[in-house]
Chains A and B, each alone.
Chain A
Amino acid sequence: MKRTLLALFLALLVLPFVYLPLLSLAGNWRYPRLLPEGLSSANWQLALTSGSGVGSSLWLSVLLSAGVAFTVTIGGFVLGKMVAAHTQRTRFQAIAYLPFAFSPVIYAYCLQFFFLKADLSGSILGVVVAQVLLLLPFGVLFFSSHWDERLHAMEQLTRTLGGSRRDAWRRVLIPVSQPALLTAFFQSFLLSWFDYGLTSVIGLGQVPTLSVLVWQFIGEANPYFAAIGSCLLVFPPVILLFINKKIVFRKTV
């Protein structure tokens, strides 16, 4: 009984990952049918070859999220070290929580005036800057708990043994921190990849990331294209997860 319930529970977890591809491949799946009338790749071909923008959105999202994740990881790594070492560490961490705790869409409206003045609204650069501002506190929080006494002792030892500050970073701190750097990169990549609210406000609808495109398809009552966009949104993180669960989600808490 317990095992049957567990199997049902696990099936429920997998259901979205079966339903979305099925819907994206469905030629016609209207009421009252429980299953689609037939499956074909026609929707995918249409979405990827017509002017729907799915292909370009995918690449835009990949590059945008990778750029944001890279900046947040490096920035968080360096600034997190300074925060971790400070006597007012707890206060700085509390400060870092504030923007991160804000709803991205409301944060975007708070920033909108300045982005308009700086001529960053409606541009990819503007969305990147806004996402970095939103996610950098996450990076700092992540790394401020990574920079611990052990890491500090390693740095001190390198310096005591004659290594320069650069040697300490290049040969000790970065190699030792590699798993944490990867985790932070993947997590900030996912946060950027999933964002809709901030991107839609700062991008003024002119930066068609995958999430913006999916919203557009839902609004156009086109569930098949919305399912294609959703597949492209959910499967890359699933692949990352299966490549290494521990790297992607190791420090979610």
Chain B
Amino acid sequence: MWQTVFSSQHLNRFGLAVFLALTLLPLVAGLSYALAYSLGLAGALTSGFTLTYWALVLCASETWYSLALSVGIAATVVVVSTILAMSVVLAWGSWLDNGMPGYLMYLPLAIPPLTAAFLTFQWLGKSGLLARTGVFAGLISDLEHAPELINDPWHVGILVTLTALTAPFFSVLFLQYRRAENLPQLMQVAQTLGASAMQTVWRVAVPVLLRRALPNLGLSGIFLFGAYEAPLLLGRQSPRMISVLIAQKFRKFNISDVPQAYVLTLLYAGAVGLAAWWIFRKMKQK
């Protein structure tokens, strides 16, 4: 392998040390400080070794609701976005490959999460565009009867926003894989060999696209697990997604919440590390 030869000849230890110092060291230092703080060994509340904060966090139902909510929202968004993106690419793939439709596909990637959350707030809020359209069309009589779609118990606002951000990215991803894997030709071959339209989709297109995209879908799930702006603006006070819960514990004026925030940070880091390790192992196996 050229890498072996190249590395033995040109390995720049200083460069790799810089790489580790700039990527791994800040994270390790931050998490080490978080661990020390959470154990009462560092920070403003230094009181000697204690597991009190860990016990408080691990026994709080808020922690597990928050983690479960974050996993649930991330998984739902990945699944719904995959279905939507796959449908778009399989239905309109040839039209979306070139020209103006091809450009328009990329447009949503220019929208930051904060703006997407703001748009959802404006459109799905109690007096938002959707409710106004409902009143205009006579579907609802007044705002009192408008459905609650933001800060709602089912987290519809968050789900819609995150799906609206993720599905276009997946569509672009699937379009690229469609080209790279010669999917139209593969589907044509399958149909020539006697497969029905449904069989071609389920036994050829979906497996080909999914197998190629799986690591990226997993990584997107990790990013969505830590989503911040959309749940901050559109979520309820309780339960909150993990990023919002951690940020609010850090921001509270009650300083005794800070060690708990660090415990939650470590739990989050553990979950992300585990998921990333699993995805990376799968990628390596491929």
B-binding residues in A (CB < 8 A): 2, 5-6, 9-10, 13-14, 16-17, 19-20, 23, 30-34, 75, 78-79, 82-87, 89-90, 92-99, 101-107, 109-114, 132-133, 136-137, 140, 149, 152-153, 190, 193-194, 196-197, 201, 211, 214-215, 218, 223, 226-227, 230, 233-234, 237-238, 241-242, 245, 249, 252-253
The answer to whether residues A233 and B103 also contact, given A85-B11, A103-B268 and a CB cut-off of 8 A, is: no
Please give, as numbers and ranges, the residues of chain B lying within 8 Å of A94 by CB-CB distance: 276-277, 280
Docked CA distance A223–B244 (Å):
23
Docked CA distance A107–B110 (Å):
23
Chain B contact surface mostly? helix
19 A–B contacts, CB within 8 A, in A order: A2-B91, A82-B11, A85-B6, A85-B10, A94-B280, A96-B23, A97-B280, A103-B226, A105-B243, A106-B265, A109-B246, A114-B33, A196-B112, A196-B228, A218-B118, A223-B118, A227-B118, A237-B109, A245-B102
Contact of B30 among A9, A23, A110, A136 (CB under 8 A): A110
Q: Which 4 A-B pairs have the closest CB atoms?
A: A103-B226, A110-B30, A194-B112, A237-B110
Query: What 1/0 flags go to B194-232 for Cβ under 8 Å of A?
Result: 000000000000000000000010010011011111000
Is B113 a contact partner of A196 (Cβ separation < 8 A)?
yes
Chain B min CB distance to A18 (Å): 11
The answer to whether residues A105 and B34 also contact, given A31-B127, A86-B16 and a CB cut-off of 8 A, is: no
B147 contacts chain A at the CB level, 8 A cutoff? no
Docked CA distance A111–B27 (Å):
8
B51 contacts chain A at the CB level, 8 A cutoff? no
Please give, as numbers and ranges, the residues of chain A lying within 8 Å of B153 by CB-CB distance: none
B3 contacts chain A at the CB level, 8 A cutoff? yes
Please give, as numbers and ranges, the residues of chain A lying within 8 Å of B10 by CB-CB distance: 85
Please give, as numbers and ranges, the residues of chain B lying within 8 Å of A109 by CB-CB distance: 246-247, 250, 261, 265
Docked CA distance A140–B212 (Å):
22
Please give, as numbers and ranges, the residues of chain B lying within 8 Å of A152 by CB-CB distance: 2, 6
Stretch among B61-69, B75-83, B131-139, B181-189 lining the A interface: B131-139
Please give, as numbers and ranges, the residues of chain B lying within 8 Å of A102 by CB-CB distance: 27, 226, 269, 272
Please give, as numbers and ranges, the residues of chain A lying within 8 Å of B102 by CB-CB distance: 245
The answer to whether residues A106 and B172 also contact, given A85-B7, A218-B118 and a CB cut-off of 8 A, is: no
Is B228 a contact partner of A103 (Cβ separation < 8 A)?
yes
Is B30 a contact partner of A241 (Cβ separation < 8 A)?
no
Is B229 a contact partner of A196 (Cβ separation < 8 A)?
yes
Is A13 a contact partner of B4 (Cβ separation < 8 A)?
no
Docked CA distance A20–B269 (Å):
36
Docked CA distance A245–B246 (Å):
37
Closest to B229 in A: A196
Closest to A215 in B: B114
Contact of B243 among A6, A103, A113, A249 (CB under 8 A): A103
Please give, as numbers and ranges, the residues of chain A lying within 8 Å of B104 by CB-CB distance: 10, 13-14
Is A87 a contact partner of B172 (Cβ separation < 8 A)?
no
The answer to whether residues A34 and B107 also contact, given A106-B243, A109-B265 and a CB cut-off of 8 A, is: no
Is B265 a contact partner of A89 (Cβ separation < 8 A)?
no
Please give, as numbers and ranges, the residues of chain B lying within 8 Å of A245 by CB-CB distance: 102-103, 106
Contact of A82 among B19, B118, B133 (CB under 8 A): B19
Is B110 a contact partner of A87 (Cβ separation < 8 A)?
no
Is A34 a contact partner of B92 (Cβ separation < 8 A)?
no
Contact of B101 among A2, A6, A196 (CB under 8 A): A6
Closest to A240 in B: B110
Is A230 a contact partner of B115 (Cβ separation < 8 A)?
yes
Please give, as numbers and ranges, the residues of chain B lying within 8 Å of A13 by CB-CB distance: 104-105, 107-108, 168
